[in-house]
């Protein structure tokens, strides 16, 4: 975990150091050192990620750019293995993409690897989008995403604020409760969680997944907690002298400064929520409440043998992820590395 | 005064006590027994705050405020984690069907069934396939992380390619690989193109199906392990490698003495994720085969027991067993690899 902190801090502490009001000694050392390393190695990706890092160029640390070179003998084999891995990853996806552009006859007649006759044949996408009720599904997913992410951010940051900035009886107990909860895998408890949700009368409403996504996420608390520690308490003290109460301090000082951590949480939470199948499958039975996962899953039923339509549906679901990934690469790498090691 | 406004703003309407009216800077007691400044590590410039905050820290409002912030998070945590665990344990000793108002206590009968009925117990062996795949997955991820920690051409491209599958929707992955394994699908076409004509039904028999599904799960999750390992390897300062090279250390020695120690915590984390992950596999087999042809896993079986066959009692017992196994493995891992993770308070 400590090993990973360096890359993680490179993202998260960035903006804090530039903030004029923030006492610069408040920025943890490893973050500053780490920035140099990642900057060197990730410069090529930095196009999109460069924007949220105003502190980057200001980092006075000479960048110890990795200059290690592979020995010449192994180079060919190394590239061979990488190209092979690329093929293994891309081939299944590429074939499905090709299939999505084919006509029904082309699919049943030709080989899976053959090319579509008309590269602009989008009729399968139209079928998948309309017959698969994808528009409703994207709408439901967006609705769930909005409230689940909003709730996670509020809950995570409030918890982190209370735990880090206050000293109170029962604090250890609270932390133990949160820690132990990370050990309980969500999949195991759904049998009983279903009864709780059922007791609230929320089965088959979009509030069931929203509540569960907010509730199961302890990782975000840790991300916020780690970040909130790098915000100097002198800021709180100064605001308190000016007459601000705890809630104002949270809302006006802590929350705005948490932006990088919020971005991390939004990305992790957003992608995992978008991809989740288990929860909507268990709780959202009505067809009009389908999320993109369950809508795609149900779409296969009536189109069992029409691989061109199913492929188009799968590609439709993958494309938004691909776009987000290309735009936010660095944030995604760091976010998931940070989230998983907590 | 600050404290007055602050209890008024609290949603729960806290009790306002006269002690709270005291200015926070009054009555400094530097020798106070409590920890000051909320244990916020790494924050400089708190010297004025820490001392003067002491009396304020003890005031009742100061004691109440954190609970206002924690009320919703704690309520949610208890409702959706601790209540289910407790009720799951209590259901597991009954024959409840999940619907009827009455239930009969059946003692440990559900647990006896899980361990004695072969068709219920069999799902544990399916986890073996996924566990084996996870081992390969960790090795592959380690290899590519080591390779891509060097200054290669196109390294960000390869990094992106290797990681991307982890981000793809599970249902989409299931369909992509259904087509991949289907008769005359991607795999068959590639094999016949390469000269190995085959009409093997990949998802047709239990062994082949489980190996195929475990392979899909490997395809999906290698990227996460890879990124974790890469991050850990890159956290080793470049100067160390230079120093090692100057001292004449070879690539293997660099790996052995520099890379290996730095990724040990991440590997131990990956192992625990692999074990608990292979016990709780659900999406890939459920989407691709629905648990048919011997590919049912523990979670698929539990979900079917609870939501198709209305055997909530038996399903709860199964879930309790799974939870116990995962907690046990986590505990063993914590014993074997003590880490510095628990620095939260």
Question: B281: domain CATH number?
Answer: 1.10.3720.10
- Given pLDDT bands bounded at 50, 70 and 90, which one contains residue B4? very low
Q: Is A86's CB within 8 Å of B161's CB?
A: yes
Mark whether B165 and B270 lie in a shared domain. Answer: yes
Q: Is B88:B316 a contact under the CB 8 Å cutoff?
A: yes
Residue B296 lies in a domain: yes
pLDDT in tens, A283-295: 988 888 889 999 9
Residue B63 lies in a domain: yes
* Residue ranges making up the domain that contains B57: 1-20+47-91
Chain B hits for A222, CB-CB cut-off 8 Å, are 344
Mark whether B166 and B122 lie in a shared domain. Answer: yes
B91 contact A CB<8A? yes
What's the CATH code, domain A134-341?
Answer: 1.10.3720.10
* Tokens standing for residue A242: 């000016």
Which are the contacts of B2, defined by CB distance < 8 A and separation ≥ 6?
Answer: A240, A243, A244, A245, B24
Q: What's the rounded mean pLDDT across residues B170-180?
A: 92
Q: Is A282's CB within 8 Å of B57's CB?
A: no
Domain with CATH 1.10.3720.10 in chain A: 134-341
pLDDT in tens, A82-139: 999 999 999 999 999 988 888 887 877 777 777 887 888 888 888 888 888 888 999 9
How many distinct helices (H) and strands (E) make up chain B?
17, 0
Instruction: Give me the total of CB pairs closer than 8 Å, taking one residue from chain A and one from chain B.
Output: 385
Mark whether B192 and B238 lie in a shared domain. Answer: yes
B306 contact A CB<8A? yes
Residue B99 lies in a domain: no
Determine the pLDDT at residue B79. Answer: 87
| Cα–Cα distance measured from residue B3 to residue B184, given in angstroms and rounded to the nearest whole number | 73
Mark whether B309 and B235 lie in a shared domain. Answer: yes
Q: Is the pLDDT of residue B168 over 80?
A: yes
Residue B15 lies in a domain: yes
Residue B27 lies in a domain: no
Determine the pLDDT at residue B202. Answer: 80
Q: Give the global pTM.
A: 0.76
Mark whether B130 and B230 lie in a shared domain. Answer: yes
Mark whether B72 and B118 lie in a shared domain. Answer: no
A197-205 long-range contacts, Cβ below 8 Å, gap at least 24? A197/A283, A202/A283, A203/A283, A203/A285, A204/A283, A204/A284, A204/A285, A204/A286, A204/A289, A205/A289
Interface of A with B in 203-222 (CB under 8 A): 211-212, 214-216, 218, 221-222
Mark whether B78 and B118 lie in a shared domain. Answer: no
Share of chain B above pLDDT 90, in %: 15
Domain count, chain B: 2
Distance from CA of B234 to the nearest CA of A (A): 8
Distance from CA of B244 to the nearest CA of A (A): 11
Burial of B22 per CB tally in 10 Å (0-12, 13-18, 19+): middle
Chain B hits for A244, CB-CB cut-off 8 Å, are 2
Distance from CA of B112 to the nearest CA of A (A): 19
Residue B227 lies in a domain: yes
Chain A hits for B182, CB-CB cut-off 8 Å, are 307
Q: Is the pLDDT of residue B33 over 60?
A: no
User: ipTM of this model?
Assistant: 0.75
Mark whether B72 and B165 lie in a shared domain. Answer: no
Residue B30 lies in a domain: no
Nearest to A234 among B46, B63, B276 (CB): B46
Mark whether B68 and B177 lie in a shared domain. Answer: no
Secondary structure letter of residue B105 according to DSSP: B
Mark whether B65 and B129 lie in a shared domain. Answer: no
Residue B84 lies in a domain: yes
């Amino acid at each position: 975990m400590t090993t990973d902190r360096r890359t993680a801090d490179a993202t998260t502490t960035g903006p804090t150091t530039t903030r004029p009001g923030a006492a610069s000694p408040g920025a943890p050392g490893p973050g500053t050192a780490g920035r140099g390393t990642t900057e060197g190695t990730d410069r090529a990706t930095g196009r999109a990620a460069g924007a949220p890092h105003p502190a980057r160029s200001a980092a006075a640390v000479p960048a110890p750019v990795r200059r290690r070179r592979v020995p010449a003998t192994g180079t060919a084999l190394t590239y061979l293995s990488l190209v092979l891995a690329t093929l293994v990853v891309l081939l299944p996806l590429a074939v499905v993409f090709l299939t999505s552009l084919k006509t029904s006859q082309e699919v049943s007649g030709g080989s899976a690897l053959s090319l579509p006759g008309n590269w602009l044949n989008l009729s399968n996408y139209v079928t998948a989008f309309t017959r698969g009720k994808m528009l409703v599904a994207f709408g439901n997913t967006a609705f769930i995403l909005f409230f689940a992410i909003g709730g996670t951010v509020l809950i995570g940051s409030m918890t982190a604020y209370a735990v880090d900035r206050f000293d109170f009886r029962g604090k250890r107990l609270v932390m133990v409760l949160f820690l132990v909860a990370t050990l309980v895998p969500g999949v195991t408890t759904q049998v009983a969680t279903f009864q709780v949700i059922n007791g609230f009368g929320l089965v088959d409403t979009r509030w069931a997944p929203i509540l569960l996504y907010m509730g199961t996420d302890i990782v975000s608390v840790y991300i916020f907690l780690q970040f909130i520690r790098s915000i100097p308490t002198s800021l709180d003290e100064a605001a308190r002298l000016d007459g601000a109460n705890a809630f104002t301090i949270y809302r006006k000082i802590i929350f705005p400064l948490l932006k990088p951590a919020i971005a991390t949480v939004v990305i992790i939470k957003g992608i995992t929520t978008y991809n989740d199948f288990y929860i909507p499958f268990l709780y959202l039975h009505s067809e009009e409440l389908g999320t993109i996962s369950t809508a795609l899953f149900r779409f296969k039923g009536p189109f069992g043998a029409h691989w061109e339509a199913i492929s188009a549906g799968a590609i439709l679901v993958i494309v938004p992820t691909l776009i987000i990934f290309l735009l936010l690469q660095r944030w995604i790498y760091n976010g998931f590395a940070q989230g998983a090691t907590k | 005064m600050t404290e007055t406004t602050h209890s008024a703003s609290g949603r729960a309407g806290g009790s306002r006590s006269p002690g709270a009216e005291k200015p926070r800077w009054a009555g400094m007691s530097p020798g106070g027994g409590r920890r000051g400044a909320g244990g916020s590590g790494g924050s400089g410039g708190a010297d004025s705050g820490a001392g003067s905050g002491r009396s304020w820290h003890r005031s009742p409002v100061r004691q109440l405020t954190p609970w206002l912030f924690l009320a919703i998070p704690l309520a949610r945590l208890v409702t959706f984690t601790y209540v289910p665990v407790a009720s799951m344990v209590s259901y597991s000793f009954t024959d409840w069907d999940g619907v009827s108002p009455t239930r009969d206590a059946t003692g440990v009968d559900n647990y006896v069934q899980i361990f004695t009925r072969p068709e219920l117990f069999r799902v544990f062996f399916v986890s073996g396939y996924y566990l084996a795949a996870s081992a390969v997955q960790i090795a592959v991820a380690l290899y590519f992380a080591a390779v891509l920690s060097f200054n290669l051409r196109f390294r960000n491209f390869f990094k992106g390619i290797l990681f991307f599958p982890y981000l793809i929707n599970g249902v989409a992955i299931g369909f992509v690989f259904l087509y991949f394994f289907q008769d005359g699908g991607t795999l068959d076409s590639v094999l016949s193109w390469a000269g190995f004509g085959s009409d093997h039904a990949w998802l047709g028999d239990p062994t082949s199906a489980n190996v195929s599904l475990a392979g899909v799960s490997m395809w999906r999750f290698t990227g996460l392990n890879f990124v974790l390992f890469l991050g850990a390897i890159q956290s080793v300062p470049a100067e160390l490698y230079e120093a090692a090279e100057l001292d004449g250390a070879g690539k293997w020695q660099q790996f052995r003495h520099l890379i290996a120690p730095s990724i040990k915590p991440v590997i131990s984390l990956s192992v625990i994720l692999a074990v608990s992950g292979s016990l709780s596999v659900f999406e890939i087999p459920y989407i691709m085969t629905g648990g048919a042809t011997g590919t049912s896993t523990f979670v698929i079986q539990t979900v079917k027991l609870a939501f198709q066959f209305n055997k909530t009692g038996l399903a709860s017992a199964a879930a309790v067993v799974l939870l116990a196994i995962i907690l046990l493995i986590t505990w063993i891992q914590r014993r074997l690899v003590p880490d510095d993770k628990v620095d939260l308070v």
